[in-house]
Chains A and B, each alone.
Chain A
């Protein structure tokens, strides 16, 4: 038994944010019916691909984002496609979509249709800026989302352009934020016996989410202060990013516990210099000369050690530190391997590869991979038959391309 195995999700989302949210639902047990347009989810066209072969069944990003889902290809512009949609709707507990606002209405499948066809069900609409307002039609990608609604402005060097996060991290954050809303919407429907049309704007999941931005906004109201963009180079005792023998290590606020720093370094005498003692007194302000003097010993200590060696000493002494891992370092790391984080999945086209496993560990009812990401339209016939769609309609849909 899985925690969400009594929920059926009719999933009309594509790309990253919606599919990451419905992946969480699916991986914890929900039956997620992924309705793809003929040609499929756009993520099927986005890499990285196995062997760099841009084939719609070889996208590693799709492979990760769509585990445990069943794929049904429907052309919602056709009568047969809409009939099939209604049949799927009748068996669903929640509908989630990420079309441009107004699209479902134009197809005759909007909220008015859904609530009339299945009283009590809810619709969650995910869009860039929400279903209302002057930007409702505006387009966003990861970089413009993060620039407008995230903390990009303060990221980077003062005299250079702001920089984004790695990959499409902002879109994954939005997906993580959508997931609790999906579950809450289901729970509200169960509690009240009534549905609702939930409006989630990706921009608002960032503006309202935890990120320095949310605090900087209120700080401006409190104090009139704005954000300075400033890089995090070494600037404490220790604090910031330092080079080491094979890369970089990051320390934070270590001066709060000089005893631990002494233990880590094995040179308690270094910290005893009166200028360092004075710099550590309560309320003392940062001083570049002191930092430079302190670094004279510390940089040598770092550069004589690998990032793993530095981190091992820091862990032993309970100093807050992290090595700058590459993805390979992370992938090969024995800690995460030993905990069983990486999960091997066998896909009929891609083959057997590892992907990130459980996002959290439930003692019972938790995460499981029951099936790999679906081939395009792999489950069209199966799901439509389950939903009681007449064989002739199924045949029409398959002829229209519903098998692929």
Chain B
């Protein structure tokens, strides 16, 4: 007999945007919660279902793949259902539309709150309050509700209403000055949004902690994730170095933070150039003298590697750039995967640096059955990267494809809220709900 999913019976209203919130609710949906995304056909939420509701084809073509790479590089019908970032975060969720700026729409939300366990939001500070959605309002609708909020810098203090995306949190947490080349200024680096990963994963954890607490006490609660605070432990080594030793760490490029050498990213035999996105690289990390000896053997012990200066870690660290030049000249002629297997056979932590499209060709991930097929509204079937965990008795299934705007209107209005067919049809006819953004929304 199949077991119940860990969060079976938990209903979550998803008012999240961009990445940090949707990642949390994706994890919760994977674990069995019913996640209902409440959307509005009259309001465009930037950077959630894409940059624009109806982006011009020319703009898609000059955007980065992850933002503009829609099917066939065309906007197509309902482009909001195909934004790559969106579809990668919205499996296993449901979507309902309601114009919560209007009293009737807000009443729909209130009725949903009354039959839900959690409301999760990570909008710009003040957005919920402007709509009248406060913790008190939610509690009046459902005294046991758990309200998750993810303000960038927390709801108190001088920065409480600072506008921020992930990239700004990275800056304030110190990440921008701890990553990137050690011989170039920070404008030569690329934005990354690691704080969204941390807030999403720990937000899912927070929801479960609050649910357990409610089971013991009968009380729901307000939970606040100050996103910069939440994610800063990613840089524990730099933080404790300052706390303990008052030392300010700066970027070390691709070196090992614990000084084990060599550690870097080296060129591999490439079928094309970086501009063609066909350059290949391999990450190699030597952790001790035995690893260095093994690397020498795999290289055929060339004369340069026999240099006694490189026999100890201290020596290798002191002459890291020199080793990098020699090593890179050798790796440049090697196939990244063949070299990975040869080095791993000797216990060396080496892996190809994969451009995303190559993930689908990896034999290990294929053997694990990691990828999952999902059919989209256009009828096409695509392969998606798989779940974060393998839980054999409560398996994570991809039972619902990336949700189309308003896909579950009928289920939510009729089955959950008990609207009659006539009431539902009237909402449809008035354009109050639907599966398309209003014509004026660009």
Chain A, residues 174-199, CB within 8 Å of chain B (1/0): the string is: 00110111011101100110111111
Cβ of B201 < 8 Å from any Cβ of A? Answer: yes
Name the CB-closest residue of B to A198. B391
Chain B, residues 243-284, CB within 8 Å of chain A (1/0): the string is: 111011111011011100001111100000011011001111
B317–chain A nearest beta-carbon distance, Å: 14
State whether B245 touches A50 (Cβ < 8 A): yes
Segment with Cβ contacts to A, from B106-114, B185-193, B411-419: B185-193
Collect the chain A residues with CB atoms within 8 Å of residue B308's CB: none
Collect the chain A residues with CB atoms within 8 Å of residue B315's CB: none
State whether A177 touches B388 (Cβ < 8 A): yes
Segment with Cβ contacts to A, from B69-77, B96-104, B296-304, B433-441: B69-77
State whether A207 touches B393 (Cβ < 8 A): no
Cβ of A363 < 8 Å from any Cβ of B? Answer: yes
Give the residues from 134 to 149 in chain A that come closer than 8 angstroms, CB to CB, to chain B: 134-135, 137-149
Name the CB-closest residue of B to A320. B163
Name the CB-closest residue of A to B395. A196
A110–chain B nearest beta-carbon distance, Å: 15
Asked, given contacts A198-B389, A215-B88, A230-B190, whether A220 binds B235 with beta carbons under 8 Å apart, the answer is no
Which of these, A134, A214, A353, contacts B244 with CB under 8 Å?
A353
State whether A169 touches B224 (Cβ < 8 A): no
State whether A179 touches B205 (Cβ < 8 A): yes
A2–chain B nearest beta-carbon distance, Å: 8
Give the residues from 167 to 203 in chain B that come closer than 8 angstroms, CB to CB, to chain A: 167-181, 184-194, 196-198, 200-203
State whether A134 touches B367 (Cβ < 8 A): yes
A325–chain B nearest beta-carbon distance, Å: 5
Collect the chain A residues with CB atoms within 8 Å of residue B17's CB: none
Chain A, residues 105-147, CB within 8 Å of chain B (1/0): the string is: 0000000000000000000000001101111011111111111
Segment with Cβ contacts to A, from B35-43, B354-362, B421-429: B354-362
Chain A contact residues: helix, strand, loop or mixed: mixed
Cβ of A269 < 8 Å from any Cβ of B? Answer: no
Give the residues from 223 to 242 in chain A that come closer than 8 angstroms, CB to CB, to chain B: 223-234, 240-242
Name the CB-closest residue of B to A46. B258
How long is the Cα–Cα vector from A225 to B232 in the complex, in angstroms? 33
How long is the Cα–Cα vector from A72 to B312 in the complex, in angstroms? 34
Collect the chain B residues with CB atoms within 8 Å of residue A288's CB: none
State whether A158 touches B84 (Cβ < 8 A): no
A133–chain B nearest beta-carbon distance, Å: 4
Which of these, A6, A198, A218, A319, contacts B384 with CB under 8 Å?
A218
Question: What is the interface residue range for chain A against chain B?
Answer: 35 or more
Cβ of B31 < 8 Å from any Cβ of A? Answer: yes
Chain A, residues 314-336, CB within 8 Å of chain B (1/0): the string is: 11001111111111111100111
Which of these, B27, B88, B153, contacts A335 with CB under 8 Å?
B153
Name the CB-closest residue of B to A319. B163
State whether B168 touches A321 (Cβ < 8 A): yes
How long is the Cα–Cα vector from A239 to B189 in the complex, in angstroms? 14
How long is the Cα–Cα vector from A146 to B285 in the complex, in angstroms? 12
Which of these, A179, A319, A327, contacts B201 with CB under 8 Å?
A179
How long is the Cα–Cα vector from A173 to B84 in the complex, in angstroms? 22
Give the residues from 348 to 390 in chain B that come closer than 8 angstroms, CB to CB, to chain A: 348-357, 359-360, 363-365, 367-368, 370, 382-390
State whether A4 touches B212 (Cβ < 8 A): yes
Collect the chain A residues with CB atoms within 8 Å of residue B367's CB: 132-134
Cβ of A362 < 8 Å from any Cβ of B? Answer: yes
Collect the chain A residues with CB atoms within 8 Å of residue B264's CB: 143, 161
Indicate the member of B26, B192, B285, B350 with the most A CB atoms within 10 Å: B192
Give the residues from 48 to 103 in chain B that come closer than 8 angstroms, CB to CB, to chain A: 55-56, 58-59, 62, 64-73, 82, 84-85, 87-89
Asked, given contacts A155-B190, A360-B225, whether A331 binds B172 with beta carbons under 8 Å apart, the answer is no
How long is the Cα–Cα vector from A173 to B69 in the complex, in angstroms? 26
Cβ of B140 < 8 Å from any Cβ of A? Answer: no
Cβ of B159 < 8 Å from any Cβ of A? Answer: yes
How long is the Cα–Cα vector from A11 to B68 in the complex, in angstroms? 44
Name the CB-closest residue of B to A337. B157
Cβ of A153 < 8 Å from any Cβ of B? Answer: yes
State whether B353 touches A173 (Cβ < 8 A): no
Which of these, A168, A331, A365, contacts B243 with CB under 8 Å?
A331
Cβ of A205 < 8 Å from any Cβ of B? Answer: yes
How long is the Cα–Cα vector from A364 to B226 in the complex, in angstroms? 16
Cβ of A372 < 8 Å from any Cβ of B? Answer: no
State whether B174 touches A3 (Cβ < 8 A): no
Cβ of B406 < 8 Å from any Cβ of A? Answer: no
Chain B contact residues: helix, strand, loop or mixed: mixed
A326–chain B nearest beta-carbon distance, Å: 5
Asked, given contacts A129-B364, A179-B201, A225-B73, whether A148 binds B283 with beta carbons under 8 Å apart, the answer is yes
Collect the chain A residues with CB atoms within 8 Å of residue B238's CB: 166-167, 327
Cβ of A300 < 8 Å from any Cβ of B? Answer: no
How long is the Cα–Cα vector from A165 to B189 in the complex, in angstroms? 10
Name the CB-closest residue of B to A50. B244
Cβ of B326 < 8 Å from any Cβ of A? Answer: no
Asked, given contacts A160-B181, A167-B235, A188-B6, whether A151 binds B248 with beta carbons under 8 Å apart, the answer is no
How long is the Cα–Cα vector from A354 to B239 in the complex, in angstroms? 9
Which of these, B5, B204, B274, contacts A188 with CB under 8 Å?
B5
Which of these, B174, B200, B237, B347, contacts A325 with CB under 8 Å?
B174
Cβ of A102 < 8 Å from any Cβ of B? Answer: no
State whether A362 touches B223 (Cβ < 8 A): yes
State whether A147 touches B172 (Cβ < 8 A): no
Which of these, A207, A226, A242, contacts B277 with CB under 8 Å?
A226
Collect the chain A residues with CB atoms within 8 Å of residue B200's CB: 209-210
Collect the chain A residues with CB atoms within 8 Å of residue B27's CB: 180
Collect the chain A residues with CB atoms within 8 Å of residue B237's CB: 47-48, 60-61, 167-168
Indicate the member of A130, A241, A318 with the most B CB atoms within 10 Å: A241
State whether B247 touches A173 (Cβ < 8 A): no
How long is the Cα–Cα vector from A196 to B389 in the complex, in angstroms? 12
How long is the Cα–Cα vector from A166 to B26 in the complex, in angstroms? 26
How long is the Cα–Cα vector from A364 to B370 in the complex, in angstroms? 38
Chain A, residues 246-264, CB within 8 Å of chain B (1/0): the string is: 0011101100100000000
Give the residues from 121 to 161 in chain B that come closer than 8 angstroms, CB to CB, to chain A: 153-154, 156-159, 161
Give the residues from 46 to 64 in chain A that come closer than 8 angstroms, CB to CB, to chain B: 46-52, 60-61, 63-64
How long is the Cα–Cα vector from A196 to B394 in the complex, in angstroms? 8
How long is the Cα–Cα vector from A109 to B393 in the complex, in angstroms? 20
Collect the chain A residues with CB atoms within 8 Å of residue B206's CB: 359-360, 362
A237–chain B nearest beta-carbon distance, Å: 16
Cβ of B229 < 8 Å from any Cβ of A? Answer: yes
Cβ of A39 < 8 Å from any Cβ of B? Answer: no
How long is the Cα–Cα vector from A165 to B60 in the complex, in angstroms? 28
State whether A214 touches B385 (Cβ < 8 A): yes
Name the CB-closest residue of A to B242. A327
Cβ of B430 < 8 Å from any Cβ of A? Answer: no
Cβ of B325 < 8 Å from any Cβ of A? Answer: no
State whether B274 touches A356 (Cβ < 8 A): no
5 more A-B residue pairs beyond the given contacts A144-B351, A188-B393, A314-B163, with a C-beta to C-beta distance below 8 A: A61-B240, A133-B364, A210-B20, A327-B178, A338-B158
A-B contact pairs, 13 of them (CB 8 A): A3-B209, A133-B368, A147-B282, A187-B208, A192-B3, A192-B394, A208-B388, A210-B22, A215-B85, A222-B71, A353-B240, A363-B221, A365-B217
